[in-house]
Every structure is written in C-alpha cells, then in structure tokens.
Structure 1
Amino acid sequence: MHTTGTGLPAAGGCELHDAGIDWDAVRVPRVLGLTALDILGPRSGAVIDDGHALYWFLPLGTVDGWEGESTRLLTAGGSLTVPPARRTQGPGPYWRICPGDTNWHTEPAALRAAIEDALDARVRNTP
C-alpha cells in the first residue's frame, strides 16, 4: 500500500496525502475513537492519532452510504496528514497502529459496528 497523493511536506516529517486514490478514511473524535479501537482490537488496520481524532483507512469506495454519528469521511477531494513510518508518539500526528505491508485497511462493517458500540457505551455511561 502506498499513500500516493500530493505528498506535500508538513511539520515533523509528516506529509499531506490525498484521500480517494488508494484509500478512503474515517475521522472519529479521539475519546470515541479510543473506545472503538478497544472494541476492534486486532481487527483494526493502521490508525493515525493527531491528538484530537483517530483516522482509519478503508478500502477505496467502501464509505458510500456511511452515515456514522460523530464521524467525518475523507474521500476524493479530502486529504490527511500522514506521519513518517513508525512514528508512534507525538507531538503531531503519529501512528497509534503502524501500517504494515498488508494491514492498512480496516473492514468497514467492523469499524462501523465498533463506533456504534462505542457510542452506545458512551450513552450508557452518561449520568
């Protein structure tokens, strides 16, 4: 998997890459995303953490019809700041789960279910 796109340099060795070429992505607010990541466990592909949100990579074209609460889709026309390989802590964007040669993508239905379960857990835990 290559992150083709603009490849424009950003701070700290990060690069800005276009979505909708090799992958689409889903942005989830950080607290909700961390819960969803716990639910997904080893079923998760690569995940970027920018301190405010988590970003999952999905196979190109698989976000059609996605209507997840608290999520934002990154498709053609969108872009994402991608950290250098193996950067696993900030400051700045870093890999919460590093990509390998074959584990960039997360299965969309599994991610959607994990986000829904995380939202349900948040509602149950609200006083």
Structure 2
Amino acid sequence: MIGDGYGGSGVLYWLVPPGEAAGWQLPPAQILGTGSHVAIPPRHRTYAPGPHWRVPPTRNQHWTDTARLHAALHTTLS
C-alpha cells in the first residue's frame, strides 16, 4: 500500500493484479485502471511527506489480496 499525503489529501493506493478491480463500484473510492499513473516510491521510502510505502512489498508479496481489499472497502464505505 502506498500513501501520499501531499496537499493534505491523504490518498492511499492499493496495488492489485491488472484487471482484478475492473467493475468495482465503491464510491467515493476511485478505481484506477489502464492509462492511470501512480508514482511508485523507492522500496526504502516508508515515511511521509510525499509518496511512501505504508506496507512495502516483499519478495513473496507484491499485490494486495483483492478479495480481502474489496470486502474491507465495501464494509468501510457502505
């Protein structure tokens, strides 16, 4: 998970495999897809300000678990 607090917006980005979140309708969350741009911080950047890893990737885990993320966002945003 990437956090970016510039501008006071407090944006979070979860990375999921391409296409796995297509069709999600979870307002006010914005689901980014093809053609979107997200700044990826260096692996060691785990602090604000600016883009930083809230949960850094590991050798074995690059993506957020899509089903768990969808369930958590659905519960939180509903």
Identify which of 22, 29, 45 aligns with 1:71. 29
The match for 1:83 is 41
Which amino acid in 2 is paired with 1:49?
G
- More strand, by proportion: 1
How many residue pairs get matched?
74
Aligned residue number for residue 14 of structure 2? 56
Match of 2:65 in 1: 107
User: 2:71 is paired with a residue of what secondary structure?
Assistant: helix
Q: Percent identity?
A: 38
Per the TM alignment, residue 54 of structure 1 is displaced from its structure 2 partner at its CA by: 0.7
**Which 4+ residue blocks in structure 1 deviate beyond 4 angstroms?**
none
Structure 1 Cα separation of the partners of residues 58 and 28 of structure 2: 28
Higher helix share: 1
TM-score for the superposition, normalised by structure 2: 0.83
Partner letter of residue 119 of structure 1? L
TM-score, normalised with respect to structure 1 = 0.54
- The offset of 1:111, in angstroms, is 0.6
Alpha-carbon shift at residue 102 of structure 1 (Å): 2.3
Partner SS for 2:39: strand
Q: 8 Å contact 2:16–2:64 — kept in the other structure?
A: yes
- Structure 1 unpaired stretches of 5+: 1-46, 121-127
Aligned Cα RMSD in Å?
A: 1.3
